[in-house]
Amino acid sequence: MWLHVERHSLHQIGQDGIPFARTRTVRAIMVASANRAEFVIQGGAPGRYRIYAAGYDQGHPGGVRPDIELGTLVVTGRETTGRIPRQLVEPPRMPRLPVARRRTLVFSGDISGKHGLGVRFLIDGKLYDVDRIDQEVQAGTVEEWRIVNEDVFQHPLHIHVNPFQVIDVKGIPPRDTSWQTDPGIWWDTFRLPPDGEFTLRTYFRPDITGKTVFHCHILPHEDNGMMGNLLISPKGGAR
């Protein structure tokens, strides 16, 4: 949803629980399923202001989302002085390591019925299988994943326990993406646009190993197949 507060700017200080180095002032914030946005509001003139999700075209037939009223901001009392912080804290940094491997994952939808009744959502042409390892990586390495969407639906990608940086986006208007590829911004969920793609860079910490998952965070999509198993290996030989 496009989050707006009527006649107020949103001074964003963090994304998905990870702080920014500097405050980013915007008129609205796109919040996909599972995203979290931390921001400060400086109250304007006394009054009542709409908090709402603005309608937007989601990219598929009949997919124009209408405005949704979420709440009301009430500003009262006398004007006070105060400053919005500009410099914040030092965010986590990507280790200066060579990219150990580049992968491409393809997200798609299937309405043919061959995978069962109704629509199914696939990664690399496969439905989720709890017993299958879909990607194996080596702990302590940096990888880049190109995530391609062949579907008409958006798919917010979430990788468990591994936040990532977005280094390239195709399919979202430039005005909406100019800040998303800032190397100081980390995500744990990022929306994959319809018929678009993005590339992420992530670091698999050496102290976190074992089996986890990645999936679309629109739950009916995940429940209908759009999830994969990720094995983080402590040793070499990851495929």
Place of tokens 């931390």: 38
120's CB contacts (< 8 A; 6+ apart) are: 109, 110, 127, 224, 225
| pLDDT score of 178 | 65
Model pTM? 0.90
Q: For the chain of 239 residues, list the mean pLDDT of each consecutive stretch of 10.
A: 94 94 92 94 95 83 80 93 90 93 96 74 97 97 97 94 93 69 89 94 95 96 96 74
Q: Please state, in angstroms and as integers, the Cα–Cα distance from residue 89 to each residue in 13, 51, 201, following that order.
A: 10, 28, 22
Beta bridge partners of 230: 135, 212
| pLDDT score of 61 | 63
| pLDDT score of 19 | 93
17's CB contacts (< 8 A; 6+ apart) are: 36, 38, 188
| pLDDT score of 177 | 62
Query: 208: which 2 tokens?
Result: 């976190």
Which CATH code for domain 99-233?
2.60.40.420
Among 138, 152, 160, which Cα is nearest to 221's? 152
Class of domain 2-75: mainly beta
Cα(234)–Cα(19) distance, rounded to whole angstroms? 29
CATH 2.60.40.420 in the chain, residue ranges: 2-75, 99-233
